[in-house]
Amino acid sequence: MLYSWESNVSAISTNVDRTAGGSGSSSGSDGGGSGQPPQPSFLASVWAQSSRSFLVPILAIFTALVLSGIVIWITTGDLQKVIGPQGAFAGLWQGAVGTPRNIAATLMTATPYIFAGLSVALAFKCGLFNIGAEGQLAAGAVTTAYVGYAIKGMPFPFHLILALAAGLIAGMLWGAIPGVLKAFTGAHEVIITIMLNYIALGIVAYLLGGPMKDRTPGNVQARTPLIASEAQLPQLFAGTDWQMHLGVPIAIMVAALVYWFLKRTTWGFEIKTVGANPHAARYAGMSVPRSIIVAMGLAGMLAGAAGAFEVTGVTHRHELGFGAGYGFDSIAVALLGRTNPFGVVAAAILFGGLKSGASQMQFNTQISGSIISVVQGLILLFVAADVIITWLYRIKARPVGVSMALAPAALAASVGASAAETPVEDAPEMEPIAQSYPKTDPDMGDDSPTTKERGSGRYEAGGEEP
Amino acid sequence: MNICGVALDILIASVLATTIRVATPLTLGALGGLFCERSGVVNIAIEGMMLMGAFSAYVVGVLTGSLWWGLVGAIVAAGLMGLLHALLSVTFKVDQIISGTVINILAFGLTGFFYDQFFNRNAPSPGQLPTLGIPVLSDLEIWGRLFNHQPVVWAALLLVAVTHFVIFFTPWGLRTRAVGEHPRAADTVGINVFFMRYANVIIGAGIAGLGGAYFTVEVSRFSPGITGGRGFIALAALIFGNWKPINAWLATLLFGFTQAIQINIQQCVSASGSSDLPFFFLPQIVGLLPYVVTIIVLAGFVGRSSPPAAVGVPYDK
């Protein structure tokens, strides 16, 4: 089940345009229903898979927008305010993608969502729920800001790289804490990351109001001084009024890197296997604790990158309240992208568009920007409970057991139980992983003696576990 | 002995009174989560349910002119969020944490949107509730403040006892626990797993909504995001209290106590004007104590937490 998402990468980019409009729903429905035709051609099977994977999110977005439109209609009593030329959706569209400048703004707004969404998605792959993106983001942002303003006279690329690296490492360390606790004590990462969010935000609030406060005369805000110009990310369209920094293409490259990591490296493979079935992973000789710590550390690093790139590229300082709400939004982004790195990019751009379009909408119609949270919540609702969508649009049901497989099996395990104690219910699903193992990872053999040992047919034994 | 110009016994009394006051929404949130999780449904949506309760209490209070009706509205509206949570996680078998996240985001968006649309420019007051005191004790000069509280505070204390009794000494509680520990076995002896989960999630959500209403009742107004993450602290208290009502209540008192200390330090600082506090007495740092304690508890350094065995696992008949 994990693998089916990944075969759809090429299809995602073509679907991005459709997501924004929420249209094109009917065109795909004929392909969406294809259940299990006997031996379909390659193209047909790709189409069937991709339409199933993307039809539901697109319809979910469409339905969420329609419902939000109804909410606006009821509260304002004026349909023109919803779909009129000066209405909410027109404003949203205009603000998000109306002009090249706005498209640039959307992409820039999407950048932290890409990083934070990747963070949540990567943890998902290991069966972990990272609600701590907000705290990790804050840890990364404040560290980057500190390195950015505290060091003086360092030449351009080195200062920038150092500041970014500091933010990434801070995020990684903050993210690794729940990983270590989960791996060695079984403490549930959901609660730990929530608690660490508050701790991070509390410490950052203290730092911004105290030791790291901007001491320029007249400043009363809790914020750091501006970072040195050598530590700022270059603007891509300097001289124009398009605002886009170098972090935008980097974020997309990082998504590709995460895809490669999960698909082609030993650690990535182990992370996915632990996420799919920790019992089988342990039985196959993999270190479950190591995978959990690596996954959470990398997740923290990605969330830290969200903060680091935002500080070096956009705000050029860290201030109180920045990054609020990214924790939950990034969960929605990761789920909407079906935890596929490229899906995350598409979902992040959607969220970035919603966010940057919201201000235009608010300006046009005086409708509260909070409606965007409603849209996001509804999208997540319909993506998670895709039964509603398949019922609403009469799409043929997906095979039993797949529909709820947004998250790896281990995620359904209980709060408080450690990954190792997860009840094994999806053992048969290990088989495809076991079969594809030599294919997906040709470099496995020359890694270490232990991995060689693993390759010797122990996966099959894992698959047979009741 | 005077601290910040306040006599020690007055200070202690006011810290304790503040503890009870700020612990109230946490207590109700934890009890709400307890019903939910004891029946086998993870509830990270306490925050969203509380926020919905706070907003509904405000709206109904403004519309009817009585916060008593506001409390009823809070319980009903949060109960509807509970219905959504149950629908998603019990019937549709959506991952319960995702379902909770959906409710948190939706509650934040809906309450913020409707508040901005209708009340932002002129926010009328929803009125006030009378404080109820215990007859003789509340007349004491210094310690009286400990026995003089809003009705919701008393309701919270009462509900702690009621919940303890219901969960551990009634057939309903036995069934709830059975469904949360081993739904298959419960089903075999004729307990309707789906019904028990639905009912408990909705009851729990209603209680959490009452806790949220307390925010509105306390300050006689609403502001978007007024719960400020207290739902998650309630969840932490529930886990800290090992899914037992009285222990969870004690945990909320601990969290309330640190917050009360924090409030008093802040008042002390603003009264005296000095800000030369030792690091660990800074209000921001004292405020972190509950979270650190929760992590220590969860990591098993104080004692293992033992959640209901089937919590988080959807039941497939």
Mark the ranges of chain A whose per-residue pLDDT is less than 50.
Answer: 1-37, 399-466
| Residue B81 confidence (pLDDT) | 94
Task: Give the residue on A whose Cα is nearest the Cα of B313.
Answer: A412
Q: What is the reported pLDDT for A41?
A: 62
The helix (H) or strand (E) run that includes residue B132 is strand B132-133
Distances (CA, A) of B247 to A187, A346, B237, B308: 19, 45, 9, 15
Among the partner residues B93, B229, B308, nearest to A404 by beta-carbon distance:
B93
Contact B92 A205 (CB under 8 A): no
Are residues B291 and A209, on separate chains, in Cβ contact within 8 Å? no
Which residues of chain B neighbour A370 with C-beta distances below 8 Å? 108-110, 112-113, 115-116, 224
- What mean pLDDT do residues B184-207 have? 93
Q: Are A422 and A279 in contact (CB under 8 A)?
A: yes
Q: What is the mean pLDDT of residues B135-153?
A: 79
Q: Is the pLDDT of residue B223 over 90?
A: no
The answer, yes or no, to whether residue B249 has pLDDT greater than 80, is yes
pLDDT for A413 equals 41
CA closest to A183 among chain B residues: B299
Establish if B246 touches chain A: CB-CB under 8 angstroms. no
**How confident is the model over B32-57, as a mean pLDDT?**
93
Burial class of residue B28 (count of CB atoms within 10 Å of its CB; 0-12, 13-18, 19+):
buried
All residues of chain B having their beta carbon less than 8 Å from the beta carbon of residue A398 are none
Would you call B112 and A335 a contact, using CB atoms and an 8 Å cutoff?
Answer: no
What burial letters (b/e) apply to A117-144, b meaning 16+ CB within 10 Å? Answer: bbbbbbbbbbbbbbbbbbbbbbbbbbbb
Reference A55, options A353, A394, A400, A372; nearest CA is A394
Sign of CA dihedral A129, A299, B46, B156: positive
In this prediction, residue A74 carries a pLDDT of: 87
The answer to whether B118 contacts chain A (CB < 8 Å) is: yes
| Mean pLDDT, residues B42-66 | 92
Q: 3-class SS at B149?
A: strand
pLDDT value at residue A390: 81
Assign residue B7 a region: left if phi > 0, alpha if psi is -120 to 50, beta otherwise? beta
So what's the pLDDT on residue A47?
60
Candidates A67, A72, A190, A191: best to mutate against B (most CBs of B within 10 A) is A191
Give me the count of residues in chain A. Answer: 466
Highest mean pLDDT among A14-28, B101-115, B120-134: B101-115
| pTM higher than 0.90 | no
Instruction: Check CB contact under 8 Å for B102 and A206.
Output: no
Give the pLDDT of residue A329. Answer: 86
Record: contact B105-A376, CB cut-off 8 A: yes
pLDDT of residue A99: 84
Chain A residue with minimum CA distance to B302: A185
Q: Chain B partners of A123 at a C-beta cutoff of 8 Å?
A: none
**CA closest to B85 among chain A residues:** A381
Given A191, A378, A380, which is nearest B239 (Cβ)?
A191
Closest residue in B to A423 (Cα) is B313
B93 inside 8 A of chain A by CB = yes
Give the nearest partner residue to A185 out of B224, B291, B299, using CB atoms: B299
**Per-residue confidence band for B111, with pLDDT thresholds at 50, 70 and 90:** very high
| A426-450 per-position pLDDT tens digit | 333 333 333 333 333 333 333 333 3
**CA of B154 to nearest chain A CA: how many angstroms apart?**
28
CB B204 within 8 A of CB B86: no
Q: A311 and A141 in contact (C-beta within 8 Å)? A: yes
Which of B141-145, B246-250, B278-282, B284-288 is the most confident on average? Answer: B246-250
Which residues, at least 6 apart from A10, have a Cβ–Cβ distance to it below 8 Å? Answer: none
Helices within chain B (DSSP H only): 8-38, 46-64, 67-86, 96-118, 151-169, 171-181, 183-188, 193-219, 230-240, 245-272, 283-286, 289-298
Q: Look at residue A401 in the predicted model and tell me its pLDDT.
A: 40
Facing residue for B291 by CB, picked from A198, A371, A411:
A198
Name the residue in chain A with its Cα closest to that of B115: A368
Chain B: closest CA distance from residue A413 (Å)? 6
**What pLDDT does residue A359 have?**
83
CB A263, CB A437: distance < 8 Å: no
CB within 8 Å: A190 and B44? yes
B292–chain A Cβ distance below 8 A for any pair: yes
Whether chain A has a CB inside 8 Å of the CB on B112: the answer is yes
pLDDT band at B57 (very low <50, low <70, confident <90, very high): very high
- Write out chain B residues lying below 8 Å of A191, CB-based: 235-236, 239, 294, 298
Please tell me the distance in Å from A455's CA to the nearest CA on chain B: 32
Distances (CA, A) of B48 to A46, B197, B262: 39, 19, 25
CB B310 to CB A188 under 8 A? no
Check CB contact under 8 Å for A414 and B287: no
Tens digits of residue pLDDT in A112-171: 999 999 999 999 999 888 888 999 999 999 999 999 888 888 888 888 999 999 999 999
Q: B124 phi and psi, to 5 degrees?
A: -70, 155
Considering only CB atoms, A414 lies closest to which of B88, B288, B307, namely B307
Nearest-by-CA chain B residue for A211 = B279
Tell me which of B124 and A454 has the higher pLDDT: B124
Distance CA A344, CA A190 (A): 21
Band (pLDDT 50/70/90 cuts) for residue B276 is low
For residue A250, the model assigns a pLDDT of 92
Residues of B in Cβ contact (< 8 Å) with A131: 44
pLDDT of residue A396: 66
